[in-house]
Structure 1
């Protein structure tokens, strides 16, 4: 077989064709190639499709007619050309079709030849050009039994066809089909082998209509519509959504592997046990086109009735993790919490799995597997839907996944849980992928080891363990959203007095640090005492007898943490009010270690100004990883009002119990200081450095 070069090695020697292809790069119309052995019925099928498809949307071409139209002397003249000249004519033909589609806005169906193979030759001659492959969006291969093709060839009244043995036709068909299947994946072409049942069952015309309209943008739109419909149902607007991957997350099994073990596939004849492994490890990787191609593999291999039966059989082979099953069952009585499965696998299988455990009414699925599902799920789409849950539906999202394909979804969620299965079953590349992204942009996932005796991933300090049935974990999921507890002195006369030197541009250095210290002491004695309370302790009265004195409660079990550097002066004032408390400087949240909170029941985070609240959120999340119950109080001179009321940061912070905010003033001004207006620079006389 004569090899075809790589798609990017230079399309052809003809500069005009190359230039035209470049000009078309950003406007590729839908062009569907119809291929099959000579005599397989391409022309007849093209005529049939012409009767069933709307001529306002589609145009139909016989490749030989177009070649004749662009060649001097027509087909007879074409036959006299050498191989290079024939290639140029074929390229001009497909460019003519592409130009007409661009001008008309229609999609095209083109009947053509991929390979010619004389029986006396050892290999076939590939005549499908690179211009063809860079123009087609889909290729349908007529997978007709070779005995039928031999009969068609013998009975063809319109043209004389040379006699070819059935053995050679079979070899030719396998080589041509396999070559097209493989080369399509290098050119982002969706390939499908179609058999007579596709036509007889009236599946081909809906399939072609779907080819014309289905794009990645439409795919996203359809998935978002499904999500919005799910979220609009129910008796209560959801506050929290649990989003699960399916395969090897809900259960240790992979539905696709089980499915393709059951399905008698033509791909087994081509040396493929599970065709998806070869597909996703190839040039398409895990793209939208790859998952559309996976759908077409399923469509060409099994009909709808057998597909449904096979999904039912696979579902019976899947056993969900008991811990996840308990979590989902616990959710049944919680109207403010929803669960959603986003699966890149077979929706039909997981629908039946959830029916089997009586959860189908509570847990909804978005996914594909068949054209009738309307969409395909991709890793990128999972992340898009999680972001939509957060940003449009204002939900707090917990995401559960097991592999690198889930990382985009996990990173888009508020909370991420990596499901760690047994070592011989789980993803071998997940450790490396996690190592690269943990800590990036605040990504701090945890892991649930299922079953419990499996070995955790990585180091548990890097990827902390979580028990899905643990009381505190369940409480953090099912807690209802409340307003943040915020105390402030904005409208009090004392705030106006204390704020004056803080806002005075002439005050800086030691004088400004002393002002911040006084503010810290004031906020501690005025508001912190309201939150934490006072305790009595014995003192000697000035008149000589013992009496009761008062101090802030549990000073010795309190840790004061200034967020460096701007929080230090105010934190020293807080320390004046709690002289027995521990004091720990922290530039980043990880500066707080487990040993620092072991003997504490209260942490006071102190900063001079809180703008977005992002840093505070990182500190609170980190502290909650170290200790689930410790009380946290945030003290600041100025807090931007939205970050504790209406922002996404506020939305996330309000999930944490035992969290309070104290401020001298709440501000509606979103201004962020820089240089001479930056509080840290003013406190330490470094305005000239910024």
Structure 2
């Protein structure tokens, strides 16, 4: 749907749209003199409720408020006419505000005799109208109706002149409407029923003005909130994410008229709600329901989902506690057909628009709202996947953010800049998936690490929801042969000082290799082979954005051993929670708290709270040589805190022995040969 840039116009547009949302619904009927505006207004009076609508001929309102009526108005100077036109539309707007009704008003944009063009719209028109319906009647019919009109004497104008006049009005009105946040629709030439089309647009416009789009979106996702067995939902953008294609472009190419969306989204409206409502009207204008369905089928047949997404959706489909939701600013029906072809229509819902019957539009803020609502009310873990700045609000609202990086010719040109801003100033911690796999990555691996949608570690992570049963996540090696070998020198009373510190360091290194890949994952990076060519190497994920915290003093030797596996990680000594500063957490992805022994967890818990208070989303990992089994039992304080703050715990062994070392048996004293000071 085009690229996205922030600019002063888009900021002004946001302010303008906020103002527009407070104004009453005033719908203008425009078209050349003789196009049928008055007749259509008369028919609408018969069909629409007078308790909800007021109906005005613009010229009648002018006649009412100008002393001497229309005859006197025609004698006035240009500036005086402008004043009374402004007064007329202001009177209509004020009446609407007081009556709480919508208004339908006939109006003129310009008069154009043989030589002179006179534009008669006013700034007040542009600040009052919420929707303009333009009667796009053929010039032949207009000429015929002008000749037959016995009530008005109109200049005899050629068909070519009427055509030029009409096209000028349409072009200028479209531009002005986009500038001022006004919806614009062209009513087609009969035999299509002007009345039915107008009523459809009017009801759409009034519903959009009176019922918040957010409320209608909430109704669309209510099904997700009633599925008690769900743990994780993957919320994914559609165009240029699921596929390299943009189905909106494919749709308009099938029509052969050129895609009008780029011009719309390049206007001051940008990707606002008004812009997406206008896009819906463009789809309504170009195709009836039957043609729309046919073109959507054609567009769907030309669009292929990336094989990685097909595999991911099959994995999701096979697990009851997983689900996926496709959220698109584009055409809902096309993506439903694509998913149906792949066999996913029963499991994967599509939320999108492009037709009045969809009853919603999906803006960037709507995407974020969906994610937030599923997280907060559904208590789901959300993985959000997108490709452009339009997806950033959604990515920032999710538990896990994945950026799809596609071919350079197709990808968003501005994404790098906005992505970097989100990472450096708002703490976003995304990863990127290259689709297809041979494309060049965005940014650097340290800033935007690579991942695979079909990688074992990612698929495993989907099983870990945000509900109580997911945490604490505990890894332990109690019964493994390696653990038995490593724990022996630690338990040997003859070992102390450097020998014992070395044993603890070995355990730290083992825990890093054994458990951290399962908890934080691994990432690929390029390295030079001894034979001279480049090969892929692997390291623990987000190594440069990891902080290792040695809980002093007993945790230091083990933390030093663990740091050998993460040589690029930050290393911090902490004797108390306040020793963990904000600079140790900001822009980091993982904090590893290291202690030698955890008995009840009483000492550890304040450190966990300190980290979580600084970053609500950062991954917290606790590693220790020994953890008392009872401390992790349901209902114990450490277990509750680990559940609340989503903490993963890795231990060399779990112990049922509740012995707590003191004086000569205290681990800290043994490590540093200070037992005589106990």
TM-score under structure 2 length normalisation: 0.75
Deviations 1:14-62 (A, max 9, x none): xxxxxxx9xx988410000100000000000000001111110000000
Partner of residue 60, structure 2: 65
Contact 2:375-2:382 within 8 A present in 1 as well: yes
Contact 1:33-1:139 within 8 A present in 2 as well: yes
Higher normalized contact order (CA 8 Å, seq sep 6+, divided by chain length):
2
Kindly indicate whether residue 196 of structure 2 is the aligned counterpart of residue 209 of structure 1: no
How far the C-alpha of 1:592 sits from its partner, in A, is 8.7
Secondary structure at the residue paired with 1:33? strand
Q: 2:609 aligns with which of 608, 611, 618?
A: 611
Q: 1:142 aligns with which of 130, 135, 140?
A: 135
What does 1:536-685 correspond to in 2, within 5 Å? 536-537=488-489, 554-555=506-507, 557=509, 570-575=551-556, 584-585=571-572, 588-589=584-585, 608-611=606-609, 613-614=611-612, 621=619, 650=643, 653=646, 658=650
Distance in 2 between the 1:216 and 1:439 partners? 39
Secondary structure at the residue paired with 1:108? strand
How far the C-alpha of 1:264 sits from its partner, in A, is 4.3
Partner of residue 517, structure 1: none
Q: 1:243 aligns with which of 221, 230, 235?
A: 235
Q: 2:379 aligns with which of 394, 406, 428?
A: 394
Partner of residue 521, structure 1: none
Contact 1:446-1:466 within 8 A present in 2 as well: yes
Partner of residue 326, structure 2: 341
> Cα 1:252–1:565, aligned 2, differ >3 Å: closer, same or farther?
closer
Partner of residue 676, structure 2: none
How far the C-alpha of 1:450 sits from its partner, in A, is 0.4
Please list every run of 5 or more consecutive structure 1 residues that lacks an aligned counterpart in the other structure: 1-6, 8-20, 266-272, 488-526, 543-547, 624-629, 663-690
Secondary structure at the residue paired with 1:94? helix
What does 1:7-22 correspond to in 2, within 5 Å? none
Count of paired positions: 569
Distance in 2 between the 1:203 and 1:348 partners? 21
How far the C-alpha of 1:400 sits from its partner, in A, is 0.4
How far the C-alpha of 1:660 sits from its partner, in A, is 11
Distance in 2 between the 1:372 and 1:205 partners? 14
Q: 1:164 aligns with which of 157, 164, 179?
A: 157
What does 1:216-255 correspond to in 2, within 5 Å? 218-232=212-226, 237-255=229-247
Deviations 1:69-125 (A, max 9, x none): 11111000000001100000100100110111111110000001111000233xx21
Distance in 2 between the 1:194 and 1:283 partners? 24
Q: 1:182 aligns with which of 172, 175, 186?
A: 175
Partner of residue 674, structure 1: none
Contact 2:588-2:618 within 8 A present in 1 as well: no
Distance in 1 between the 2:335 and 2:143 partners? 43
Partner of residue 99, structure 1: 94
How far the C-alpha of 1:248 sits from its partner, in A, is 0.3
Partner of residue 263, structure 1: 255
Deviations 1:336-367 (A, max 9, x none): 01100110000111111111111111110111
Secondary structure at the residue paired with 2:351? strand
Contact 1:345-1:369 within 8 A present in 2 as well: yes
Distance in 2 between the 1:642 and 1:553 partners? 29
How far the C-alpha of 1:611 sits from its partner, in A, is 2.8
Distance in 1 between the 2:364 and 2:651 partners? 35
> Cα 1:537–1:309, aligned 2, differ >3 Å: closer, same or farther?
same
Please list every run of 5 or more consecutive structure 2 residues that lacks an aligned counterpart in the other structure: 1-8, 10-15, 495-499, 513-542, 565-570, 574-582, 655-678
Q: 2:185 aligns with which of 173, 182, 192?
A: 192
Secondary structure at the residue paired with 1:299? helix
Distance in 2 between the 1:202 and 1:658 partners? 67
Distance in 2 between the 1:540 and 1:264 partners? 81
Contact 1:34-1:109 within 8 A present in 2 as well: yes
How far the C-alpha of 1:588 sits from its partner, in A, is 1.7
